Chain A
Amino acid sequence: MPSADPNAMTSDVVLVTAIRSGDQGSMAALYDRYSSIVYSVALRVLQDTGAAEDVLQEIFMQFWRNPGAFDASRGNMAAWLAVIARNRAIDALRRRRPENNIEDVVVSVEHDLASEADRSRTMERVRGALQMMSAPQRSALEMAYFEGLTHSEIAGKTGEPLGTIKTRIRAGLLTLRKALAA
Chain B
Amino acid sequence: MSVHEQFAEDLALYALGSLEGAERHALEKHLQGCSPCRRELELLRGDLSLLTLTAAGPKPPARARQRLLAAIADEPRLPATAPTSARRQRSWWTAIGWPALRWASAVAIILVGIGLLRQNSTLQQDLTSLRAQFTDQGSKLDQANEVVATLLDPEAMKIELVAAGNKPQPRGKAIYQRRNRNLIFFASNLPPLPAEKIYELWLFPANGAAPIAAGLFKPDARGSATVVNPPLPVGVEAKNFAVTLEPESGSHESPRGTPVIVGVGE
Q: B69 to chain A: which residues have CB within 8 Å?
A: 24, 27-28
| Contact for A148 among B12, B17, B41, B43, CB less than 8 A | B17
Q: How large is the interface on A (under 10, 10 to 19, 20 to 34, 35 or more residues)?
A: 35 or more
Residues in A with CB closer than 8 Å to B10 are 166
In whole angstroms, how far apart are the Cα atoms of A60 and B75 in the complex? 13
Q: How far is the CA of A80 from the CA of B45 in the complex (A)?
A: 9
Closest to B10 in A: A166
Q: 1/0 per position for A81-97, CB-CB distance to B under 8 A?
A: 01101110010000000
Residues B59 and A10 in contact, CB atoms below 8 Å apart: no
A177: chain B residues within 8 A (beta carbon): 43, 47
B8 CB-CB contact with A under 8 Å: yes
By secondary structure, the B interface counts as helix
Smallest beta-carbon distance A162→chain B, Å: 11
B71 within 8 A of A: yes
B58 within 8 Å of A by Cβ? yes
Q: Are B13 and A151 in contact (CB under 8 A)?
A: yes
Residues of chain B within 8 A (CB-CB) of A36 are 56, 58-60
The secondary structure that dominates the A interface is: helix
Q: List 24 A-B contacts (CB under 8 A).
A: A6-B145, A14-B141, A27-B68, A27-B72, A31-B68, A36-B60, A39-B59, A40-B59, A41-B52, A53-B60, A53-B61, A79-B45, A99-B17, A105-B45, A106-B45, A119-B53, A123-B53, A146-B55, A150-B13, A150-B18, A166-B12, A166-B13, A173-B48, A177-B47
User: How many chain B residues have a CB neighbour from A under 8 Å?
Assistant: 57
Nearest-neighbor residue (CB-CB) of A28 within chain B: B69
Q: Is the CB of B9 within 8 A of A144?
A: no
B196 interfacial contact with A, CB 8 Å? no
Contact indicator B9/A87 (Cβ below 8 Å): no
